[in-house]
Structure 1
Amino acid sequence: MSDTAVGTQTTTVGAQPDPFVVQVNWLLGATGGNEQLARRSGNRVSVRTLDNWTAGHYPRDKVTGDVPGQQTVTNTDMAVPVCR
């Protein structure tokens, strides 16, 4: 198998992307990058933590993918919050 880079995440061709990493990368793109997101969060999350998350290094037992109180739409086993 060959490898390909998607943003800052490296995945194997044909493998399902990690939903958490996909969401973090989307959030970084929407806010303008690691430093902007860290600043907008009031420094509750650091640039280093965001770098680790986009590389796929995060506490998997703490991340459920479920957003309490949010309606979700399932698309190929990825729950995506519905924004209105």
Structure 2
Amino acid sequence: MGRVAEIVGELIGQVVDPEQDLSHREIEVVRLLAEGRSNRAIAEAFYLSEATVKTHLVRAYRKLRVGNRAAAVRRGLLELT
């Protein structure tokens, strides 16, 4: 993870409660991750910027208590079913 993403993650982690459920949008993003879509493809699917998708991912990672895409998909799919 790049330094900017680390800093953003730390800042978001200060306001995101890991015990909180995933938001509707975070669930949608994790589902598209599971399909193997890139951040750019997810952004295009929802008419969002890639930065917004990254924010959703960082929040979802924090809530799922994971550190990468594969773990988010694995953990997210278990919680979503």
TM tier, smaller: 0.3 to 0.5
Q: How high is the TM-score relative to the length of structure 2?
A: 0.36
Choose between structure 1 and 2: higher helix proportion.
Answer: 2
Structure with greater Cα Rg: 1
Choose between structure 1 and 2: higher strand proportion.
Answer: 1
